[in-house]
Amino acid sequence: MWIKISRHLLLKENPLASISAQTAVVFLALVVSSGLTRAAVVSLPDPAVDITAAARGTQTAVLAGGCFWCTEAVFEQLIGVEKVVAGYAGGDAATAHYEIVGSGKTDHAESIQITFDPARISYGRLLKVFFSVAHDPTLLNRQGPDWGRQYRSAIFYKDAEQKRVAEAYIKQLDEAHVFHKPVVTEVTALKAFYPAEAYHQQFVRRHPDNAYVVVNAFPKLEKLKKQFPDLVKPSK
């Protein structure tokens, strides 16, 4: 049994709602869906193919793995990551708006743009966190309680090197059978990235008592700290 209670539907009327008004509904969704969303892998191998840190200056990566509140919250914790922006990729500028994307009628995916220092954290290392903590790459067009192509797993590469690393790592993971099912992550060229509306930025940090955040984002942050303690920025 699966109850389709997406973040978009649950929070549509009041996206900043607190946990007190939603606890029962979210808890039910969590219990029903837990068997489908539970990660099946404890740890992943390092990428056999990666990009060296020869280039100076910062680089960007665009990844999609379900709710951008959650993925943003994970990657902004990493040492070497200087900025994370929630937004949309895969569609055009005219429809890059939350209500339209949430309808599932565009080709956008909720995505994040990561600005990082490759001398401190490599592109391949970002992908390792992406596949092991940020989302479940074996789920097709859904993550947690969120359904639709806008929640698909995708890597939007900006150049041939990022494509090479992404495709090689997916092949490596599939051949090692580290997941219970094949990886369904799309690897596609980045045409454009469109930042999301201001109220979506740093949502988890600004609204820690939001029901969706408590149920879906916080477990990922705890998993990040346990699996990658050497990559997490010191607490302020």
| Residue 1 domain-assigned (yes or no) | no
Residue 64 belongs to what H/E stretch?
strand 59-65
Amino acid identity at 193: F
Residue 15, φ and ψ in degrees, nearest 5: -65, -15
With beta carbons less than 8 A apart as the criterion, state whether 89 and 64 touch: yes
- Tens of each residue's pLDDT in the chain, 236 residues: 233 344 554 453 344 444 444 443 444 444 334 433 344 445 899 999 999 877 678 999 999 999 999 999 999 999 999 999 999 999 999 999 999 999 989 999 999 999 999 999 999 999 999 999 999 999 999 999 999 999 999 999 999 999 999 999 999 999 999 999 999 999 999 999 999 999 999 999 999 999 999 999 999 999 999 999 999 999 87
Instruction: Determine the Cα angle at 42 with ends 80 and 7, to 5°.
Output: 75
User: Number of folded domains in the chain?
Assistant: 1
| Residue 112 domain-assigned (yes or no) | yes
Which residue among 67, 112, 215, 217 is the active-site one? 67
Residue 226, φ and ψ in degrees, nearest 5: -75, -40
| Residue 129 domain-assigned (yes or no) | yes
CATH assignment of the domain containing 112:
3.30.1060.10
With beta carbons less than 8 A apart as the criterion, state whether 85 and 113 touch: yes
Q: Which domain holds residue 42?
A: 7-227
| Residue 46 domain-assigned (yes or no) | yes
| Residue 235 domain-assigned (yes or no) | no
What pTM was estimated for this model as a whole? 0.86
How far apart are the C-alpha atoms of 185 and 137, rounded to whole Å? 6
| Residue 165 domain-assigned (yes or no) | yes
Active site residue 67: yes
